[in-house]
Amino acid sequence: MVCNMTVTKVVEIPLVTTEVPIGPQHPALHEPLLLKVYADGEEVVKVEVNTGYNHRGVEKLCEKNTFYRDIFIAGRVCGICNTVHANCYVRALEYLLDIKPNNRARYLRVLAMELERIHSHMIINAIMAEIVGFETLFMQIMLDRERVMKAKEILTGNRVLGDYMMIGGVRRDIDEVKRARIRDLLVKLKPRIEFYKKVFEEDETIIKRLVEVGLLKPVDVTSHSLVGPVARGSGVRIDSRASDKYDAYDEIPFNVITRTEGDSWARMMVRWDETLEALNMCLYILEKLPADGNPVPDEKRLPRVIPQGESYARVEAQRGELTYYVMSDGKSTYPYRVKIRTPSFNNIINSAFMYVGLSLADVPVALTSLDPCISCMERVIVIDLEKNTKYKLTLKELAGGRV
């Protein structure tokens, strides 16, 4: 695996340090990741990020299946952000096919993705509460998160893996009854979100554990290509929804949330504000949903062979900019190449410098503030440096580390 890590400053490492492994199995981690933390007493002097424990060969799997089956594979790269993965892949195909969904489909796509943003931001804030010792707060947030999970189920047919996106539109429409049910759930959820935001703003323990922990300056963000709430928490206004205006984001009003503190607390507060912003967007969609035709295209009429060419699409996933590159040879029903770059790949691999100077107890807090998704970021490239050629390894060889 090729992982490039850079640091913004030269740190003088003591001759004698203690290596503290955090992961790949650790109470603060919900997925396998290994941080090799080198400490001088309690102070962190160096961190090495080690991934590769959750590699599933998703990109190669996409190249071995048809364009249409790959919609379902893309949606399973990450369970929390499955509709945005599927949306980004589908739009890459639509660019090659020169297909544009109607307005109703575009609005429904945004509704699905913003519902997903709400529940994703709620879960990482709940995990942060758990990390700092507030297990009751964790359970309360997760209980209220069930409202948005129910809304997603009403819209897509499933709580988690929605499988909602398809070329030219979406797979399900909603009637007035479902529309009213989703709206009722969101209206009840809004005051709860405002309450949790207030808790994170005022609770003394949360402030002491998060404020000025894991500081990232704007120059650190731009020089290390950090994205999403991590970047916006340091005052860097970057959001693909505002810059690309894909689907219906050019018609649905919303604000790009930024803060200037640049610490772990700011990154969590950005997510609370974005949750409220996404909730208001969903209510706007439910009120202004266009009635121009059927948003569900006839899948039997869609071409099975995609025209020759290359396509690149990006989407603002919950953790930041997600991109898909798709290449078609114009002859096969299978893509020639599918390349995925997830926001966690940037944010986790490139942020090792952030931990330097922290105490050991602050490392899980700083890591959680990045909202790591390890299954999203696993990529393996095996290269013979002497011959500069790629070659294959058996699963046993790869698991044994003989790369």
Instruction: Please check whether residue 112 is in contact with residue 162, taking contact to mean a CB–CB distance below 8 angstroms.
Output: yes
Residue 371 CA to residue 368 CA, distance in Å, equals 5
Beta bridge partners of 383: 390
**Residue 375 has what pLDDT?**
75
Q: What type of residue is 144?
A: D
What pTM was estimated for this model as a whole?
A: 0.89
* pLDDT, position 391: 55
Region for 354 from its dihedrals, namely left if φ exceeds 0, alpha if ψ lies in -120 to 50, beta otherwise: alpha
- How far is the C-alpha of 65 from the C-alpha of 333, rounded, in Å? 8
pLDDT tens for 21-30 read 887 887 777 7
pLDDT, one tens digit per residue, over 230-243 is 999 999 999 999 99
Q: Which residues pair with 340 in a beta bridge?
A: 324
Return the closest-CA partner of residue 303 out of 64, 61, 67, 65: 67
Cis bond upstream, residue 290 (ω within 30): no
Buried b (16+ CB within 10 A) or exposed e, 221-240: beebebbbbbbbbbbbebbb
Q: Looking at residue 393, what is its pLDDT?
A: 57
Q: Distance between CA 360 and CA 284 in Å, rounded?
A: 44
The model's pLDDT over 141-192, given as tens digits with 9 standing for 90+, comes to 999 999 999 999 999 999 888 899 999 999 999 999 999 999 999 999 999 9
Q: Which residues pair with 317 in a beta bridge?
A: 320
Spell out the domains of the chain, with CATH numbers in brackets: 58-340 (1.10.645.10)
DSSP one-letter string for 113-131: HHHHHHHHHHHHHHHHHHH
Q: Parallel, antiparallel, or unpaired for β 309-317 and 43-50?
A: unpaired
**130/107 Cα distance (integer angstroms):** 35
Summary count for the chain: helices (H), strands (E): 15, 10
